[in-house]
Every structure is written in structure tokens, then in C-alpha cells.
Structure 1
Amino acid sequence: MPEEQTLNRYRELAARSAQSGIYVYTDFHSPAGASLAYRITDERNVKMWGGAETCERVIVRFGDPEDIGYEEGFPISVIRIFPKQAKYADALTHRDFLGALMNLGLERDVIGDIYVCDNEAYVFVCERIAGYITDELTQVKHTPVRCEITDAVPEEARPKLKEESVTVSSPRLDGIIARAYHMSRSEAKSLFNSEEVFINGRLCANPFHEPAEGDVISVRGHGKMIYDGVARRTSKDRFAVIIRKYT
């Protein structure tokens, strides 16, 4: 969806929430699309969630809990998709599962992240279409499958975090990204110009920004990491910082 069209849609949803006094939700968006919500309303009126802390694709919720007077969960379901007979199944990939879902006639924005583990998939979807998927999805690639709605994603299916220590001249975001993803400082700076860097779901255009401990940094096309702060100063007066990269 073009940026201006997304912004107009967000304005409509934010206004509907304010007028009706209820929470209003989008479908799933990429980090870039979701971050546009901060342009049209105050931060306290926006919350984002994809079903798990590790999810990239998120639903945007409009509504201030203090004004509305209560909290509620996001309309997200998790579907487990698994072969009927594991020993006869094809080797199934993220692309295979996504393709099978799209072949049901679904739009991409009703599907969130897909975690694949041991030839099974755990798919985050908009709650309203979960029943349709469990009823209609019977095959992935050439493999007959079953679907069930589940409450939890097993730990082994979730993205893993790998801790690393990187040394930078200053704890600026461009330097951290350059070291984390093995690129030059100028290459890292170009990512800000092309709007590909996000902190805690919000677009960051400032390469000189110094992240706070616990910030989640997403770089489109490269990955996501958690910044754990400066561990020490080196003998050459550089900064050893700790990051945890999703793998």
C-alpha cells in the first residue's frame, strides 16, 4: 500500500477509536508500514504487537488505555501446520508455507510472521481468518497437512539470540550497525537515508543516535538485534558494546 494511502487509513482508524471510545486494529504491517502510525497521532494512542516479542510483522492498535478505561489483547491467533505423515513429507520451507496460505486467496496483510521448525510451521494470523485456514488448508507443496490453533509457540521454533561484543569508536547507531552487519560506516549511513533502520518499531533517520540499553534495532534486509549497552572502554579509548542478534 502506498505511504499516503496508509497514512490516510491510519487517520481514519485513529479518529474512529477517539470517537467510539474503543480500540481499533489494523491488519499486519512491516516495521516500515507500522511506524507510519507515529506520524498521525500521539505515541500513547498507538501500540504494536505481532503475537510474540520476536515478530517482525505487527498489528497496530489505536486507542489510549487511560481514555478507554481497560486493556485488551490483540486479535491474533497462532496456527500450527504440520504434515499428516512426517516420514513421507517434502522438506518444507517458509516460502512453501506462505505460498500455500496465499493460494487460499488470502491477502498478505492478514498473515504475520511464520516460524518454521522440524518441517512444521507456526503462523501468526488475524484472528478472524484462523478458522478458515484450519478448515481449508490441507496441503503444502505436495504434502498433506493438518492445522490447529495453538496457544503457544515452542521455544525451539522461535528465533534465537546470539550475543556478540563489537568495538566502536563511539556508541552511535551507524557505527554499531556497521560492525554488527560487517559493512562500512558509509554503507551503514546510507541505510538511514533509505529509511531502513527502526528502533523499537519506530523509523530512525539519525545515524548519530545513541541507542538506550534494551532498544530493539531492526535493519531492513539485514536483521534485528537488541542493544545491551557499553560493556567497557578499551585501552585505545574505544567502546566495547554488547548486542544480541536474532538468528
Structure 2
Amino acid sequence: MLQVNNISLSYGPRLVLDDVSFTVAPGEKAGLIGVNGAGKSSLLKIVAGIQEADSGKVMLPRSFGYLSQDVAHETSVAEGMTVRDFIFNSIGLDIAIQTYEALTNKIAEEANAAHLPTLLKHFEQAQDALDRLGYYDADARAEQLVAGLKLGGATLDRLVQTLSGGQKTKLALARLLFQAPELLLLDEPTNFLDVEATEWLMDFLAKYSGALLIISHDLDLLDRSINKVLRLNEFTHKLEEYRGNYSSYLTQVGDALA
């Protein structure tokens, strides 16, 4: 569970967040909304540990993934990597494969029988690691993400450094989704997606078994992929919570004003 307790933030004399508290339960999907400048991205960065609050505390689940609005730079570490290796690297699968292949070759070349029991034990551990990381269907899962997000025909064998900026942004999202963390933190994930890729992402997030906290200007996405709205009030700088999707939120606000 994500638990955010009493977060406050100011930029100089300007108050942005005032004693903000909320939870996102396992499997729950929350949309964070508010006018521009209300502090949505700042709050998401605080939750992700990228930015410090003036006060308050955040408790995160064991695994989480964060996608900022400026993610293309994250692929700079992928110099010389293929799309496959960059995606697999997010969970250490690339290293596990290299270890397995190295042990396979070493066992085949080992002339000293006395060394084989130790090598075979390490080989068994390497196999267990591949099983744990989902190696045997990893290519299929990665290809599904690359195809769904429309990376312009990029294959898993293509070098990351040859991709365009837009493709790299989509790849960073694919890499994050491949990790399948307990909690996804997404800041405007559809900014570089066309209509078809956005539709695919909506369906993916709606079916995602983990929890979600998302900022998006795409109201269809907020209708189809969330079951709770968290609104940052630009006047009070506090957070308001509404059950249901974005359309339900509009109805609740309209009823309150009627």
C-alpha cells in the first residue's frame, strides 16, 4: 500500500501543498488532478522520492516504478544496448541470461571433473533465477509492450541509440511496464502516444493487477483506468478524495454545487 501522511511543500513564500494525506491500496487506481501549478507533478516526485517535502512522510510498497514527463534522458544509460537488453535490464534479466550462458559454456569446456559439482550447483541457481524473472516468455511480453506502444516498427534487436526522442520516451514507458511493480507512478504517460497507443495503454492500465497513481490531461484515460480521484485544490492547497472515475467525480462535484 502507498501511504502519504501530512505532506507540505512551499516554494519560497508560495504554499503548494498543505498537510496532504491519502492512501492507494493494493490494486487501487487513482487519478491525481488539479489545475496547472497546483502541485501535481511535485507531489508525484515526492511520492517517488525524487523531491523532498518540507514535512510529512511517504510509505511505499516493496516495488514501485516512476515515469516523469521528461523520460527520454533515462535511455542515455543504454548506450550500446538493444531494445531487448534495455527492457530486460529493468529487472536484471539481461545479467541473469549472461550468467546462465557463461556457466553453460564453462560446463561444456570444463576438463576437471572435480569442478563439475560446484559448476552444476551454480548452473541450477542460474536456471532458478531465469524462472523467477520470467525468462521463458520475456520476449513475448516485451514484444507486446513495444507493439502496443507503437515504437515505429522498432524490433527488440534494434540499438536504443538509433531511436528517435519520441521512441525513447515510449521505450522508457515499456521498460517500466515490463517491471510490473506493485505501484505505478505515471506523470502524463500519453504525451508522446498517438490515439491507437493511448487506447492500448488505457486497456493495459485498466487490467493491471498492481496499484496506480497517475496524472493525465486525457480524460478518457481517467475514465477508463481509475477508480478514485485525488484533486489538489488550488485555493486551499489540500487534497480532496472522490470515489469512482473522472465522470463520477464530475457528477459528485456537480451534485455538491447544486
TM tier, smaller: under 0.3
TM score, norm. by length of structure 1: 0.24
Relative to total residues, which structure has the larger strand share, 1 or 2? 1
Higher relative contact order (CA 8 A, sep 6+): 2
Bigger fraction of residues in helix: 2
Scaled by the length of structure 2, what TM-score is found?
A: 0.24
- Indicate the structure (1 or 2) with the bigger Cα radius of gyration: 2
